Chain A
Amino acid sequence: MLGTLPPRDLWLLPLVSFLTLVLLLVGAEAMSRLVWPYQMENECRQPDKTLGFRYRSNCKATMKSVEGPWYASEYNECGYRSPASCGRVSAGTRRIALIGSSISEGYLVEYPNTIAARLQSELQAMCAAPIDIQNLGGTGYSGQYLVLRMEEALRLAPDAVLLVVLPFDVHDQIANSATFAASAGSEGTAQPRLDGSLRQSLISWSRESRAVTMAQHYLFQDPATYVPLILRSGDNTDFLRPPFTPAWEARLRVFDGLIGQLADRARAAGVPFMLAFVPNQVQAILGATHSLPAGIDTRALPDALAEIARAHGADFADTSASLAAAPKPGLLYYQVDGHPSGKGQPLIARSIAQTYTSLTHGPFSNCNVSTARPGTTP
């Protein structure tokens, strides 16, 4: 069976193969980490007994995701990611308190391109009046943490409260509710438990590998590659295939309860409350195509959320059309991470501003939209 190979090749060839494998993996990983550094730890984050965590007052953290640029996260005296003070506003200034998770916070995005900053500039232009946005958003704030954050927001005497959500925020409702109940007083949300199997170990390794992330980032830029792949992720994208599965029905019920609590508090304080929906990457891409894959309906979730908002007397903004209208909607997001990038968040902000000014009620209904200057290109 050995054929014409010398006996030493029985161990030498496998060794060559093994060493090549090690060199390749180590080399690829090392090169990737050199080219794509990241700093994901927010130094300003501190534990909080009630909220799990909050940001330190007057703090500045420098951060970078694998896919994005370096950016600074600066927090005012209240620990909100806002350049303006959280104290009383001057007369004539309209204040929006922005609550929500990472999307509201402007996670991975430099401040000038965040929803908060761009919404401020859009509304200032449309309303020809000063606007103050207090950004109470924070990565991981969802479920009952949001209720606590809403109460904090209302103490700022805002003219409006805005909650921005991605499908991911609805998906995580039940898990986060359990986390809130189980870990009140500790920091952050629980990580999904891995069962220690080989497959889970490989998945965990691939998530941590910079080379894998780098390869995915470039491969996922092409919708023809990304869309079929992500549509196979089962439960995560089942909201695109109505009727909703029992799991998604349950999540929507929990979310309905949450919006009810938030809307009740806002109503009691006499403050208008708006729920803004941001589609995820695959939704934005599919929203721009003329023919959807069989069984796919990108409107199912936003329509359900609009109904929830209406039922509780809240306003609803759907930013889907704005993102789908962009030339390459998929590139408005970080390919692997999935959050809207500094290219996508300005479009989201403009859409929300347009919704605010189109309402017949609320603090921005009297804004003269026709005199607004065009928003700047991200």
Chain B
Amino acid sequence: MIVPSLQFLAFALCAALVFNVSTRVYWRQAVLLVVNFLFLLSFSRVPSAFIPFAAFLGWGFLVLRTTRDRPASHLFVVMLISVVVVFLWLKRYSFIPHAAFLRFPYLTIGLSYVFFRMLHLIIDNHQGAVETKVSGLSFINYSLNFTSLTSGPIQRYEDYRRMELECLPLNLAVVGVALERVILGYFKVAVVSMLLSLFHQQVIAALVVDQTLWGRTLNAALIASIYPVYLYFNFSGYVDVVIGVARLFRIELPENFDRPFSSQNFIAFWSRWHITLSNWLKTYVYNPLMMAGMSRIQSPALAPYVSVFAFFVTFFLVGLWHGPTTEFIFFGVLQGGGVAANKLYQITVQNLLGRKEYRALSGNPYYQALCRGLTFSWFAFTLFWFWSTWSQIAGIYRSAGVLAATLSWLVIVAASTFALALMEIVHRSTPTYTWQGAPIVESRYVRTAWTTVLAVVVLGITVLLDSPAPDIVYKTF
């Protein structure tokens, strides 16, 4: 059952009705457990396909319990590494010998996100950040929460547990807002990302045919710049759907996107794009690296450069997490390199200009617009190693030609600078139009009308095409 489908929505709504029959903790835990299992069952009917997944969960729970009351750090490190190794083995990373892999097909859906939740819980539990003992039921429901199983977001256990106990209110207003979010999500996935995907394929095909320099330049620019926008609508649409659905289960999932293309630098970009993943890596990779580095550095002048190194490693792992191929390794190098270079630039320019002048420069609207354009362009560039292969990249480069390929990047920087600046102006001006003291776009009547329009368009497109919406790109990871 894919998330951006009417079947999933029907399943979730029926389950939510049963879930909310009672507000008792045990009822909600039991219903969520059944719903989580039913959701998993929709991916396979073969019992053996679930065994490795179940064993991974079981091992994770055992490590969780074992390392809670044991202060010895070496045992903790060994058991933590065992969880990582089992994950890498189940995900079939290419540096593990093929002969070691299981010979039968098994479920790996959501394994990456389960892995992150499990690691976070094990580490925090060991450090005493988790106050009470984690029960098996809470552990399973937290790890397998169907609303965020396939592609996140990665929720912290403490937040999940608090909502499990507190029972967040669910009234008509909340239901309305949740459904609004769901419909917006479906619109992003089923309509916008679908159309962008079709357009992307068309411009790739057109690049081979078009012989004029301007035509090749434009097509190359479109090929590079459409994909990040498509990925945003595809992934953020999914997140909107699951956040809306989770709220019907009295669970508030964390946000995963915050207008990422408004970012003025690549570091800020990663605090707005796939937020829960970058937060997880910052907490469990960047911060420990920084602390370890700072404890070893004697010279205060070198301290900023520790963060450069820590940024590189952290965001290299972001890229590597996506997959074991050389493309993803290079993708990681570009992510880490981009963030590290950004930090180096900040350090260098601040040293050159002084803090006050640097702050003044950063506040200049033209400078901000250019930074947004450069950030978007860099992200679009790195994504080539996300969605294509080395040979496809070479093919596109050959079809475009050196001059057109070069010019296309100038076009992307210029166009994205202008477009994103316009977007910022529109975003800042919308609250200006008010009604009854509040921005008109936030009026529930306007929102109801707008959501109705989106729902009709989604339904219309889905019925016309008589096919499910495109699946989520991040389900692969």
Interface residues, chain A, CB within 8 Å of chain B?
Answer: 1-5, 9-10, 12-13, 16-17, 19-21, 24-25, 206, 212, 215-216, 219, 222, 224-225, 228-229, 232
Contact = CB atoms under 8 A, between A and B. Distances in A.
8 contacts: A1-B171, A2-B171, A3-B169, A13-B444, A16-B445, A16-B448, A20-B449, A21-B452
A228 B467 contact: yes
B464 interface: yes
Nearest to B450: A20
B198 A224 contact: yes
Given A20-B448, A21-B452, A5 B172 contact: yes
Nearest to B169: A3
A225 B445 CA distance: 35
B198 A17 contact: no
A12 B466 contact: no
A225 B465 contact: yes
A25 B456 contact: yes
Given A3-B171, A5-B172, A224-B201, A229 B465 contact: yes
A7 to B, nearest CB: 11
A285 to B, nearest CB: 14
B450 to A, nearest CB: 8
Contacts of A3: 169, 171-174
Contacts of B94: none
Contacts of A219: 461, 464-465
Contacts of A4: 171, 173
A10 B463 CA distance: 29
B467 A24 contact: no
A140 B201 CA distance: 39
B288 interface: no
Interface of B: 169, 171-174, 176, 198, 201-202, 444-445, 448-449, 451-453, 456, 460-461, 463-467
B467 A229 contact: yes
A17 B449 CA distance: 5
B58 to A, nearest CB: 39
A21 B449 CA distance: 8
A24 B448 CA distance: 13
Contacts of A2: 171-173
Nearest to B170: A1
Given A5-B176, A229-B467, 6 more contacts: A3-B169, A5-B173, A9-B444, A21-B456, A216-B464, A229-B465
Contact of A232 (B171, B464, B466): B466
Contacts of B173: 2-5
A215 B460 contact: yes
A225 B195 CA distance: 10
Contact of A16 (B169, B174, B449, B460): B449
Given A16-B445, A20-B448, A224-B201, A1 B467 contact: no
Contacts of A206: 463
Contacts of A224: 198, 201
B172 A1 contact: yes
Nearest to A16: B448
A3 B453 CA distance: 25
B47 to A, nearest CB: 28
Contacts of B466: 229, 232
A225 B453 CA distance: 23
A372 B201 CA distance: 40
Nearest to A3: B171
B441 to A, nearest CB: 15
B448 A13 contact: yes
Contacts of B465: 219, 225, 229
B452 A215 contact: no
A20 B444 CA distance: 14
A352 to B, nearest CB: 29
Contacts of B449: 16-17, 19-20
Contacts of A21: 452, 456
Nearest to B456: A24
B335 to A, nearest CB: 30
A229 B467 CA distance: 7
A225 B191 CA distance: 13
A13 B444 CA distance: 8
Minimum-distance CB pairs A-B, first 4? A3-B171, A3-B173, A20-B452, A20-B449
A222 B205 CA distance: 12
A225 B198 CA distance: 8
Contacts of B174: 3
Given A2-B171, A224-B198, A225-B198, A17 B460 contact: no
Contacts of A13: 176, 444-445, 448
B202 A215 contact: no
Contacts of B451: 17
A24 B453 contact: yes
Contacts of A229: 465-467
